[in-house]
Chains A and B, each alone.
Chain A
Amino acid sequence: MTAADIPDDASIGRTRTGTVRLRPGSRAPGVLLIVALLLLWELSSRAGWIVSAYWPPVSHILAAAVAQLAGGEILVSLAATLRRAAIGYVAASVAGIALGIVLARNRALRCGLLPLIEIVRPMPTPAIIPPLILFLGVDDALKIFIVALASFFPIFTTTFVGVASIDDTLIQTARTFRISSTRMLYGVVLPATLPAIAAGLRTATSLCLVVAVLSEMIAGSSGVGYYLVEMQYAMRPDLMYAAVFYLALTGYALNRGFLALEARLIPWMGKT
């Protein structure tokens, strides 16, 4: 899909030129703005400025969120979604990194496979789901496959570009020392490409959750995506908003967790 290139990982706080550091407290106006907006929401609903059954006050949504958490229903849905996202993500990582390295280093395979990858890549994910339903059914196999397919592209692309742009001197030096091809891979190519691979993995981290939810909406029987559509039909906006909130929280936590892990495992990231 085209979303492959999403720099979704690039949050505002991390610019290309370095991290923008703000004076502590400079976020205060922004936080106040959010609080003000939430208050306005609450008021508009309670005072009846917006008369709609689908505009519940924030306090109702909070109550729904607490009830959801206490009842465990949201946790069950989130767990189902995360499981699919995780399996698809792992499969995509293995395939994306392996193919990225192989295609970057082997001309014949590149000529054969790259055009095929380039054809499938721009397909919008929702469009791939209906034909796949015919082959894979509407169960886990479908959703995991779609997550894997969507996550594959950013991982493959960054790995491929990363390997292709390794400094040639590095490779030549390694050749001069006549190291084996296995050692070349693990000792030279992989460490040099790791930051690029990590960038792709990070994009895929947020993507896999989105795509899992999306596939559950179109062909679901469980998971947050299905839950959302179900609540839409049940006309329970409070539960729906609360579920979106948990989903956003999960997405945020995944991204944060990835960044923390990356800083620990690849300390030279972003210092090249």
Chain B
Amino acid sequence: MSHRSEARGMGLWSLASPALVLCVWELAGRLGWTNPILLPRPLQIIEVFLGLVSSGAVLSPLLHTVGLFMIGYVIASLLGTALGIAMATSQTLYGLLEPLVESLRPIPKPALVPVLFLFLGIGKATMIVLVVLASVFPVLISTFQGVRGLDPVLLETARTLQISRSRTIFSVILPASLPMILAGMRVALGLGLVLVILAEMLAGEDGIGFRILDHERSFQVREMFAWIVVLVALGGAMMKLFEIAERRLVPWRGRS
């Protein structure tokens, strides 16, 4: 996205305004302009955050959240890609599955959290199913559009060379639609994370989402903000990793 590269192009300047906001926030806290009970100073939050990291207390909830998310995300990516390619290449499968997909897709996924809690019980399986439900549709639709948007010459060439169907899928269709598949997976990354955090908040067992809401309810505001920092760092790190992987896998992306 062009404005992202623009933000990067500004270099160090892009750090100026966030740094300024943090300084004003810190100063306002020290001067007593803000209510310290509701809004701790940034340095206080960082102190608690560093405490969480150095004591290792951050590890168990972090692993809980990341574990549930990753399992669901991988399943959703594989399933979405497979279904997307299947529906884009086979008219029969398209006719069979399109109405189902289009009727499940508009369901606001957060609404399914209490439904699945009741039906599957509160547990790991439920969380994973929720992540899959949230992440699968963007991957599926993006893959579908990617495959349908392929240059027909590509497919006809494969047919002329009498390449088998499975080889066409794995050596022609899959690599050619990879940018679109990854675009869908990037969207799914954010959606899946939102769902896992929400589910943890409502389930109240473990994980980053649970910590944030639990500290808010017991008015441990510094701890709450520290856990939000953990979450933001996690989200940012995953996005960064994804971008690196994307650049590796599709080095031609954005150059065409």
Contacts of B144 in A (CB 8 A): 12, 15
A210 touching B141, Cβ below 8 Å:
no
Contacts of A140 in B (CB 8 A): none
Give the residues from 67 to 124 in chain A that come closer than 8 angstroms, CB to CB, to chain B.
Answer: 110-116, 118-119, 122-124
A209 touching B108, Cβ below 8 Å:
yes
Q: For chain B, what secondary structure do more than half of its interface residues adopt (helix, strand, loop), or is it mixed?
A: helix
Q: Which of B14, B92, B109, B215 contacts A210 (CB 8 A)?
A: B109
Could you say which of A24-32, A141-149, A184-192 contacts chain B? A24-32
B224 touching A248, Cβ below 8 Å:
no
A161 touching B38, Cβ below 8 Å:
no
Complex interface bits, B91-127 against A, C-beta within 8 A gives 1, otherwise 0: 1101111111111011111111111011100000000
Q: Which of A22, A115, A130, A157 contacts B14 (CB 8 A)?
A: A115
B110 touching A213, Cβ below 8 Å:
yes
Give chain B's interface residues, CB within 8 Å of chain A. 1-4, 6-7, 10, 13-18, 21, 38-39, 87, 91-92, 94-103, 105-115, 117-119, 137-138, 141-142, 144-145, 148-149, 183-184, 186-187, 189-191, 193-194, 197-198, 201-202, 209, 212-213, 215-216, 221, 224-225, 228, 231-232, 235-236, 239
B100 touching A30, Cβ below 8 Å:
yes
Q: Which of B102, B149, B191, B198 contacts A6 (CB 8 A)?
A: B191
User: In the complex, A182→B112 CA distance in Å?
Assistant: 47
User: In the complex, A5→B142 CA distance in Å?
Assistant: 12
Q: How many pairs, one residue from A and one from B, have CB atoms within 8 Å of each other in the complex? A: 228
A123 touching B235, Cβ below 8 Å:
yes
Q: For chain A, what secondary structure do more than half of its interface residues adopt (helix, strand, loop), or is it mixed?
A: helix
Contacts of A114 in B (CB 8 A): 3, 6-7, 10, 14
Least CB distance, A133 to chain B, in whole angstroms: 6
Give chain A's interface residues, CB within 8 Å of chain B. 1-8, 10-13, 15-17, 20, 22, 26-31, 33-34, 37, 52, 54-55, 110-116, 118-119, 122-127, 130-131, 133-135, 157, 160-161, 164-165, 206, 209-210, 213-214, 217-218, 224-225, 228-229, 231-232, 235, 237, 240-241, 243-244, 247-248, 251-252, 255
